[in-house]
Structure 1
Amino acid sequence: MKQTSDFGFGTQIRKSPYFDATVRWGATAFSVYNHMYIPRDFGDPERNFWNLVNDAILCDVSVERQVEIAGPDAARFVQLLTPRDLSKMAVGQCKYVLITNAEGGLLNDPILLRLEKNRFWLSLADSDILLWAQGVALNSGMDVTIREPDVSPLQLQGPKSGEVMKALFGESIFDLRYYWLREVELDGIPLVVSRTGWSSELGYEIYLRDGSRGDDLWERIMVVGQPFGLKPGHTSSIRRIEAGMLSYHADADSDTNPFELGLDRLVNLDMRADFIGKNALRRIQAQGVKRRQVGLIIGGAPLTGPNTRFWAITKEGQTIGKVTSAIHSPRLGQNIALAMVASEFTTIGSMVDVVTNSGPIAAQVAECPFYDPKKSLAVA
């Protein structure tokens, strides 16, 4: 059995409340996300994918660090951070939002949770939004308190996750709607549960509100989940690329705007409320974008893992873009990728070349998402 001392990036990288439990349950490698350890290997990634899509997996995603925004002006301040219209967001609701800078660039794409009228959490992708929000608040003139609470999420994802949740919390958990949350307790452990997750499968996120109970919570879920085929796991690159889900720093960064990503639905330029980047996004919308995200189907032998650098995309010798995330999907029997290419080369079905580590390979521009585009599995 691996010992926790076998892993070490130094004391500057934080361990989650589930760290020791994940090692006991078979985690063999970690990477770093939001200055924290995240388990990235419980064995064969393809086996992890099949565990996810056929049964259920439990993932330590404490790296989705929470930024709590509370106070009399919390709702107005949160709206300042995002171009998505939040005027009808109810208490108990979750929303996928974008956080943009003054130039309209993407700083993060978190899930926003509204716990109370004047209290929100941002459940983050991989960037320091706590510092950004505190900086914005400094001269905003708004009455808000911004901090990182003692909150550590797990993801329970897969078609049998609902049955595991029922065994843990009872039949009433099925009343929880997609992108809504509920405050609950389990054996005296304080939690928030939401119908969300980074998998595009049926799934839940379980937010632990007392870091001292991490080991208890992990073990309780795994024991209850065993009859349903629950396995320890990690977020699946295969499944998230099939679903066209963004990975920040790979598929988007501060130089990428929502229109390039096809996320126009998350930008409301007509609402009365102001937000950071509004003028820039108006200008970008009026001018149009010079590049867009597309899906690619890449030929050749099955990729043995994700790309570790951005592969150039060429057309008749001209560089027209880059592959941001690529993987082999065993379900689709294809190499699939997310890519950013010049707008004039985004026609579905058109052919390009991808310059991989082993040389140029022909690829076809494809519809994205590649699988279950209407998210019927997650919403069910």
Structure 2
Amino acid sequence: MTDAMNTAFDTRVGAAFDSGASSGLGTAPAPNGAGTDGAPAVLLYTRLRKSPYFWKSRAAGAAMYSVYNHTYHPRHYGDPVGEYWALLQGVTLWDVGVERQLEISGPDAFDFTNMLIPRDLSKCDVGQCKYVFVTAPDGGIINDPVLLRLEENRFWLSLADSDVRLWALGLAHAGGWDVHIGEADVAPLQVQGPLAKDVVRDLFGDEVLEVPYYRLREFTVDGMRVVVSRTGYSGEIGYELYLRDASRDAERLWDAVWEAGRPHGMRPIGPCHMRRIEAGMLAYGCDITLDTNPLEVGYDYHWMVDLDQEADFVGKAALARAREEGVSRLMVGLEIGGEPLGTYNDGSMIEPYAVLDTAGRTVGTVTSACRSPRLERNIGLAMVPVGLSGTGTAVTVRTPDGIRDAGVVDKPFVDPRKETPKR
């Protein structure tokens, strides 16, 4: 590069972080590594996939991307703290086309899907959604999608960030299952926040307000077919709009939602990690991975891991042994002292933080952490030994700017009964 090109490049890359710093992010550790000149960019090119809404979210001002399911994902639009308050007080639009819809259909679809997950699908009606884990033979978590049951033998898994399609294809082939497994031409948008009901009512009519929490119904708007579910990744009132024929109609749906949202002050945002950490919601790849199991992360409930069901599922024997023997570690909530942390999706937490016991030994890991604007405290999710998991236990945390005092607290940090999204 010439000096002029370097200068232009640095200006473009730095702009997103400059706008973040003006929102209070400047108190966080330097994004993507202190001591560097500027910050590395994410290359936009042909190899990685684009959401069907990519050009619309980019035109709306996406300032930072990550890669999720091999797809560019807008993380924020220049002001994560402002986006947080918009989510809590108004209505927000999220490009979540990265949530690829794995469709499982065919004569064996129910039995095959029931075998993939620890929840008992005989308790899932047609038209119902379930938050589920996809588990490995050792009980590890492969993915944590929302499952949508559209028909008796037709399911969508709205995937988190891992290659479940390959896993499912391998299992179906090896087991001789009579199923079709493929990626549907479907892409979701999320409409989240206390004014979300007003927006979807203006878009779909009063009938959409009759969709219960974690249920779905299909609507048509301007010739576009949309499966609307009363779900979301925000801890707030929200809907997910699963657009069929997304490769054809995505930009039209974005425009329709935007026009419906404009009178209500709609704002485009990325997934709000401050709010999901407050809610104790897990993020695949950091809080949960193949190396964690549902019992360790606090989902050892009969509704989430049903070891009493008659049907077998992948990992059932391993999870039964783990329940009988007990786990050695648990995911807890932490309050972390010191100067304000960043927003998590601003590049301020590049690596997990070490959790230390009173003797200074590394005993656990903070998997995601941020500064909660409304609580005015640093909070995080951490995996620690069972002996240090009790509420009130004192630990320390090693952050890039030094050792900080911390303590185990109850999670979720906000709305522990999750009443807000059910309103």
* Corresponding position of 1:255: 291
* Distance (whole Å) between structure 2 residues aligned to residue 196 and residue 298 of structure 1: 30
1:240 aligns with 2:276: yes
* Corresponding position of 1:269: 307
* Corresponding position of 1:54: 89
> Which residue among 176, 193, 214 is the counterpart of 2:250?
214
> Which residue among 403, 408, 419 is the counterpart of 1:360?
403
Unaligned runs of 5+ residues in structure 1 are none
Post-superposition offset of 1:33: 0.2
* Distance (whole Å) between structure 1 residues aligned to residue 56 and residue 180 of structure 2: 33
**8 Å contact 2:273–2:343 — kept in the other structure?**
no
* Distance (whole Å) between structure 2 residues aligned to residue 240 and residue 308 of structure 1: 18
* 1:166-185 equivalences in 2 (<5 Å): 166-185=201-220
Please list the CA deviations of residues 222-266 of structure 1 after superposition, one character each: whole Å capped at 9, or x if unmatched: 111111111111110100000000001100110101100110121
| Matched residue type, 1:287 | E
Please list the CA deviations of residues 276-311 of structure 1 after superposition, one character each: whole Å capped at 9, or x if unmatched: 011111111111000000000000111134222111
2:119 partner SS: coil
* Corresponding position of 2:340: 302
* Aligned CA-pair RMSD: 1.2
1:11 aligns with 2:46: yes
1:194 aligns with 2:253: no
* 1:93-242 equivalences in 2 (<5 Å): 93-210=128-245, 211-242=247-278
Post-superposition offset of 1:9: 3.5
* Corresponding position of 1:349: 392
Q: How many residue pairs end up in the alignment?
A: 376
1:314 aligns with 2:349: no
Please list the CA deviations of residues 110-130 of structure 1 after superposition, one character each: whole Å capped at 9, or x if unmatched: 000000111000001100000
TM (norm. structure 2) is: 0.87
1:256 partner SS: coil
* Distance (whole Å) between structure 1 residues aligned to residue 343 and residue 207 of structure 2: 40
Which piece of structure 1 moves more, 123-132 or 18-27? 18-27
% identical aligned pairs: 51
1:139 partner SS: helix
* Distance (whole Å) between structure 1 residues aligned to residue 183 and residue 63 of structure 2: 28
Q: Which runs of 4+ in 1 moved over 4 A?
A: none
Post-superposition offset of 1:27: 1.1
* Corresponding position of 1:372: 415
* Distance (whole Å) between structure 1 residues aligned to residue 309 and residue 52 of structure 2: 41
Post-superposition offset of 1:79: 0.6
* Distance (whole Å) between structure 1 residues aligned to residue 153 and residue 119 of structure 2: 18
| Matched residue type, 2:212 | R
Please list the CA deviations of residues 122-164 of structure 1 after superposition, one character each: whole Å capped at 9, or x if unmatched: 0011000000000110122221000001011101000000000
1:281 aligns with 2:319: yes
* Distance (whole Å) between structure 2 residues aligned to residue 16 and residue 314 of structure 1: 40
Post-superposition offset of 1:7: 7.3
TM (norm. structure 1) is: 0.97
Post-superposition offset of 1:41: 2.0
Unaligned runs of 5+ residues in structure 2 are 1-11, 13-40
* Corresponding position of 1:68: 103
1:361 partner SS: strand
* Distance (whole Å) between structure 2 residues aligned to residue 305 and residue 143 of structure 1: 46
* Distance (whole Å) between structure 1 residues aligned to residue 397 and residue 44 of structure 2: 34
